[in-house]
Amino acid sequence: MTDTTTTELPKAYHPAEIEAGIAERWLASDVFAPDGKGATAGPDAEPFTIIQPPPNITGSLHLGHAQRAAVEDLMIRHARMTGKAALFLPGLDHASIAAQFVLDGIIAKEGETRQSLGRERYLERMQEFVVATQAVILGQERRLGASLDWGRLRYTMDDGSAKAVRTAFTMLYERDLAYRTEALVNWCPGCRTSVSDLEVISTPETGAIWSIRYHLVDEATGQPTPGETITVATTRPETILGDTAVAVHPDDDRYHALVGRRVRIPFVERDVPIIADEVVDPSFGTGAVKITPAHDRDDYETGKRHSLAMPSILDDTAAVAGTGTAYDGLDRYDARAAILADLHMRGDLAREQPHEMVLGRCQRSDDVIEPRLKTQWFVRAAPLAARALDATRSGRIRIVPGQFEKTWEHWLTTIRDWNVSRQLWWGHRIPAWYCSDGHVTVSAAPDGPASCGTCGRTAAELQQDPDIFDTWFSSGLWPFSTLGWPDDTPDFRRFHPTSVMETGYDIIFFWVARMVMLGIELTGAEPFHTIDLSGLIRDPLGQKMSKTKGNVVDPLAMMEEAGADALRFALIHGATPGQDQRFGPQKLELARNFANKLWNAARFVLGARPADLPADAPRVVPDAADLRVADLWIRSRAAATTDAVDRALADYQFGEVTRALYDGIWSEFCDWGIEFAKVELADQENSPAERAATWWNLVDALDRYLRLLHPVMPFVTEAIWDALPHRAADPAMLIVARWPEGGGRDARLDGQVGEVIETIVAIRNARAQADLPAAAWLTTEIAPPADAYVVFAQLAPQVGRLARARPLTLRSRPTDLIRPEGALEIVLSAGGIEAVILPPSDAGAGADAGIRDRGRLEKELGEAEGHLAAAQTRLANESFTAKAPQAVVEGARTRAAELEEQVARLRERLGR
RNA sequence: GGGCGAUUGGCUCAGUGGUUAGAGCACGCGGUUCACAUCCGCGGGGUCACUGGUUCGAAUCCAGUAUCGCCCACCA
């Protein structure tokens, strides 16, 4: 398998083509599965599992999904390369209510509705719809290079999930953590279902508040008294029809005498009591509140406290119903208008004022949510939340970044019971059956219970609950249902609890908290040890991307244009944990350019193979004795990048990973490493063995960078790596190659070569400032620092070429430099380096150059003096020298001494 | 009403106590050197939102203010 030869790369970098070819190779070799035929991790390898949010099956992926996949795939590829049994399980979510909302829209165009099709045909349509969309989604994930184990593809509506849902619910029911009761729920009249508290979006709106006079009842006659009224304030006059009391505050003197009296509710002509309750704020409105227990959360509580009747006055479509008034059948808003008009006619509408308020709207349909009394299934939240909180407080689950722990705490400590039943069709049926006596039988059996658990009536006499589960109930089981739970499968045993759950912070409550709560309760273990929360992708203006705004960009188009690698890099590069990022074409361009740069660097390395190196020469570790100082520096910097990448990965700082790689590969390896190596490879004074060593060293460095970059840009790195000569122990593909070892950096050498680089930059700078011809070779003398003289001497050919400084002479001391009239002077603070550059005599620029050079030196002197003054002030401060760490003080002293030296020399040069 | 986050060069963003605050883009100047013009070289550009505090030392920690954004929230 091992291929020691070098292959040529095509001159131009065409990402789309390269990526298609590589994807094919990966899929064919089955390397994505931790136990596939191409996997390198043995059966005893440490398992590592990433939990990704299964995308909704309703549509195609957007940039947010692409970012999820990029980050998750980065982690999983890294884990795979470190020898772990890395499982990245693909999946899809049936997205119950979201899917129905989409499908309802589609069939509406055909003139159909849910009701007109009927449950059976509607579900058939849904099935057709999701089959089509799932192909699109999975194709997009593949295109992105997500190394998902396709053989384990799961779906929240598959048989395994169905079994998990039934079992989970049965367990909760048996533990009294799921119960059925009549309670006030959030009703969406558009979706015709209840929704959870999370699906109600608080929306500030300007509405109106009306003051309405209710007439007190004369207890003697039993008739309302025309002159005696109490005025209540309401924003929803239509709910008058459901009023069963008027409440005032017990300490409110204005109404004290009225408590216990009765008022007549108009239209329904019902007499209801005036009650005293602490819930009333005497300073708001009139201080008297109408109580509608069946259609308001506060009133419901008040109603329970006072044992009030709770008549419902709205039907499933939020039309008035069952009041026995003329308003029955009217939509709630039409009824409101009619009632207001009628109240006005009766003279009982006291006033109307604009009013700022917060309305609950349906997350899906935007309809105003109506609180209604319904018999529903609930999951008891408090005990589950307590265990979830314990998991994070004890550190068994870590939330990254930590700032989200507060959010987590707050939500879980104020959580209310979760309404899990939905009056929808697309989803898992609630496994509860009722007999004619109303006994409830909950069963996890695929075909339901054999008989009523209470009275023994046969299955045929039982009726299954028509409702389905909230879609998040099945997603909440995802980490373990996908591994085989409730069965004790090999996957479940091996991969659960999983490792890292990664998602956007927007579904921390919907999904993450539910997984933790249900996971701990049902499996006895936290479903993952780390919650990694990413920020959201926004458009270049900082707006959320949405179809209605029309600012959604198709990831596929971006990948076609710039490559999946570029898209991945761009998405990861801009990511700071938990922070949103604006995403625009510039970021993609940066990433595409980087891929192109790497491609060309690789082309250079491959093409630079010494001609006298036999084509079949095995890849060797270059003999240290044959390595030049430039080679050692390249090696040291690659090691430094490795350490930086490792640190960033350990901290989930993925943006840092790409920054370290971008700088390491571009600014160090390409800008200096390759340029240095070119000189060594061309130097005929180097022996063939030395030139070979330099080349093998370049290959080593490139190989290392490719490994480090592979999790971010898998395709281009795989393609280049394939063209490199491999080591004997290497596998056939980079995706399963070993992650580089850390360590090996030579800080002293880095410092000295750093001074060489500074000198080259300074010479280029002086040349440019003096407006000397870019192509001219300049006679130059350098006086390097004494301790770096050897390194300067070894890199002198590089300095000569990169600074176009030839002939180049090194002097031991600055005083040894020969300074002809009109020469450019360089005085660096670092290491006391000085250099003298002789402008070309034929350029005729000598005099001019000297003047410009003087300007540059003046400016440098000014800067140096400023820094020196600051350094001296710091050192003159006794508490600084006494209290600051010794190393810091030493550093400041050295710095001051260097600056002092530089200032003195600059002054001398300038004749001051 | 509560909570969280942001505020750093023209733009987009890094940088969680220590020399001279960085990057990409944009901008100016110069480049047909055999990896790359999707490139190379050089440069200009920032009182790190404001005020106060802690500290020998603050973009960084604390308090407050302002602006923007997000999340949570049953005052009719």
- Name which of A41-45, A157-161, A230-234 the model is least confident about: A41-45
Angstrom CA distances, A576 to A294, A401, A535, A586, stand at 47, 10, 7, 18
Whether the CB of A776 is less than 7 Å away from nucleic strand B comes out as: no
Whether the CB of A206 is less than 7 Å away from nucleic strand B comes out as: no
What is the model's pLDDT at position A732?
93
d(CA A120, CA A117) in angstroms, rounded, equals 8
| Per-residue model confidence as pLDDT tens digits over A617-665 | 889 889 989 999 999 999 999 999 999 999 999 999 999 999 999 999 9
- Name which of A1-5, A149-153, A724-728 the model is least confident about: A1-5
What is the model's pLDDT at position A689?
93
Alpha helices in A651-746 (DSSP H): 654-662, 675-682, 688-709, 714-723
Q: How confident is the model at residue A841 (pLDDT cuts 50, 70, 90)?
A: low
Q: How confident is the model at residue A484 (pLDDT cuts 50, 70, 90)?
A: very high
Whether the CB of A204 is less than 7 Å away from nucleic strand B comes out as: yes
Burial of A709 (0-12, 13-18, 19+ CB in 10 A): buried
Whether the CB of A582 is less than 7 Å away from nucleic strand B comes out as: yes
pLDDT at A846 over 70: no
Q: CB–CB of A606/A724 below 8 Å?
A: yes
Residue A281: which nucleotide is closest by CA–C1'?
B75
Between the CA of A905 and the C1' of B40, what is the distance in angstroms? 32
Q: The whole model's pTM is what?
A: 0.95
Phi-psi region of A461 (alpha: psi -120 to 50; beta: other; left: phi over 0): alpha
Q: Find the mean pLDDT for residues A893-902.
A: 88
pLDDT at A536 over 70: yes
* Mean model confidence pLDDT for chain A: 93
Whether the CB of A305 is less than 7 Å away from nucleic strand B comes out as: no
Point out which residues pair with A379 in neighbouring strands: A178, A418
Half-sphere exposure of A396 (CA within 13 A, CB side): 15
Q: CB–CB of A462/A448 below 8 Å?
A: yes
Q: What angle do CA A156, A157, A159 make, to 5 degrees?
A: 105
Residue A804: which nucleotide is closest by CA–C1'?
B33
What is the model's pLDDT at position A1?
42
What is the model's pLDDT at position A778?
92
Residue A682: which nucleotide is closest by CA–C1'?
B34
Read off the DSSP letter of residue A511. I
Between the CA of A59 and the C1' of B13, what is the distance in angstroms? 31
Whether the CB of A824 is less than 7 Å away from nucleic strand B comes out as: no
Dihedral pair phi/psi, residue A576, rounded to 5°: -115, 135
Between the CA of A401 and the C1' of B46, what is the distance in angstroms? 29
- Name which of A498-507, A540-549, A805-814 the model is least confident about: A540-549
Between the CA of A774 and the C1' of B31, what is the distance in angstroms? 7
Nucleotides of strand B lying closer than 7 angstroms to a protein CB: 3-6, 12-15, 18-20, 23-25, 29-33, 35-36, 38-43, 55-57, 70-76
Between the CA of A763 and the C1' of B41, what is the distance in angstroms? 11
Q: Which of residues 351-370 of A touch strand B (CB under 7 A)?
A: 357-358
Whether the CB of A777 is less than 7 Å away from nucleic strand B comes out as: no
Whether the CB of A312 is less than 7 Å away from nucleic strand B comes out as: no
Whether the CB of A261 is less than 7 Å away from nucleic strand B comes out as: no
Does A887 or A372 have the greater pLDDT score? A372
What is the model's pLDDT at position A842?
59
pLDDT at A854 over 90: no
Residue A868: which nucleotide is closest by CA–C1'?
B20
What is the model's pLDDT at position A362?
94
Whether the CB of A285 is less than 7 Å away from nucleic strand B comes out as: yes
Render the burial of A115-143: b for 16+ CB within 10 Å, e for the rest.
eebeeeebeebbeebbeebeeebbebbbb
Whether the CB of A896 is less than 7 Å away from nucleic strand B comes out as: no
What is the model's pLDDT at position A4?
61
Whether the CB of A891 is less than 7 Å away from nucleic strand B comes out as: yes
Residue A204: which nucleotide is closest by CA–C1'?
B73
Whether the CB of A146 is less than 7 Å away from nucleic strand B comes out as: no
Whether the CB of A888 is less than 7 Å away from nucleic strand B comes out as: yes
Dihedral pair phi/psi, residue A368, rounded to 5°: -70, 125
Between the CA of A298 and the C1' of B75, what is the distance in angstroms? 9
Whether the CB of A336 is less than 7 Å away from nucleic strand B comes out as: no
Q: Which residue is nearest to nucleotide B13 (CA to C1')?
A: A574
Whether the CB of A307 is less than 7 Å away from nucleic strand B comes out as: no
Q: Find the mean pLDDT for residues A793-802.
A: 96
Q: Which residue is nearest to nucleotide B36 (CA to C1')?
A: A600
d(CA A808, CA A373) in angstroms, rounded, equals 91
Residue A290: which nucleotide is closest by CA–C1'?
B76
Between the CA of A651 and the C1' of B50, what is the distance in angstroms? 33
Whether the CB of A287 is less than 7 Å away from nucleic strand B comes out as: yes
Whether the CB of A279 is less than 7 Å away from nucleic strand B comes out as: yes
What is the model's pLDDT at position A707?
98
Residue A888: which nucleotide is closest by CA–C1'?
B18
Between the CA of A542 and the C1' of B66, what is the distance in angstroms? 21
Written in H, E and C, the secondary structure of A567-632 is: HHHHHHHCCCCCCCEECCHHHHHHHHHHHHHHHHHHHHHHHCCCCCCCCCCCCCCCCHHHCCHHHH
Residue A297: which nucleotide is closest by CA–C1'?
B74
Q: Which of residues 428-467 of A touch strand B (CB under 7 A)?
A: none
Q: Which of A622, A666, A623 is nearest to A641 (CA)?
A: A666
What is the model's pLDDT at position A38?
83
Q: Which residue is nearest to nucleotide B6 (CA to C1')?
A: A579
What is the model's pLDDT at position A862?
86
pLDDT at A3 over 80: no
Q: Which residue is nearest to nucleotide B17 (CA to C1')?
A: A884
Q: Find the mean pLDDT for residues A561-583.
A: 93
What is the model's pLDDT at position A832?
82
Between the CA of A659 and the C1' of B22, what is the distance in angstroms? 11
d(CA A720, CA A18) in angstroms, rounded, equals 10
pLDDT at A213 over 50: yes
Q: Find the mean pLDDT for residues A752-760.
A: 94
Between the CA of A878 and the C1' of B63, what is the distance in angstroms? 29
Between the CA of A442 and the C1' of B11, what is the distance in angstroms? 60
What is the model's pLDDT at position A34?
95
Residue A356: which nucleotide is closest by CA–C1'?
B75
Q: Find the mean pLDDT for residues A253-279.
A: 94
Residue A541: which nucleotide is closest by CA–C1'?
B12
d(CA A495, CA A488) in angstroms, rounded, equals 12
pLDDT at A469 over 50: yes
Q: Which residue is nearest to nucleotide B5 (CA to C1')?
A: A579
Provide the token pair at A234: 């309401």
Between the CA of A635 and the C1' of B12, what is the distance in angstroms? 33
Whether the CB of A300 is less than 7 Å away from nucleic strand B comes out as: no
Whether the CB of A405 is less than 7 Å away from nucleic strand B comes out as: no
Helix axes A514-523, A159-174, angle to 10 degrees: 70
Most distant CA pair in chain A, distance: 123
- CA-based end-to-end distance of chain A: 70
Q: How confident is the model at residue A759 (pLDDT cuts 50, 70, 90)?
A: very high
Question: What is the ipTM score, two decimals?
Answer: 0.96
Q: How confident is the model at residue A537 (pLDDT cuts 50, 70, 90)?
A: very high
Whether the CB of A543 is less than 7 Å away from nucleic strand B comes out as: no
For residue A400, give the 3-state DSSP assignment.
strand
Cis ω before A401 (30° cut-off from 0): yes
Whether the CB of A180 is less than 7 Å away from nucleic strand B comes out as: no
Provide the token pair at A722: 């394939």
For residue A752, give the 3-state DSSP assignment.
helix
Whether the CB of A512 is less than 7 Å away from nucleic strand B comes out as: no
Q: Find the mean pLDDT for residues A542-570.
A: 88
Whether the CB of A12 is less than 7 Å away from nucleic strand B comes out as: yes
Whether the CB of A560 is less than 7 Å away from nucleic strand B comes out as: no
pLDDT at A821 over 80: yes
Residue A878: which nucleotide is closest by CA–C1'?
B56
Between the CA of A583 and the C1' of B53, what is the distance in angstroms? 39
pLDDT at A321 over 60: yes
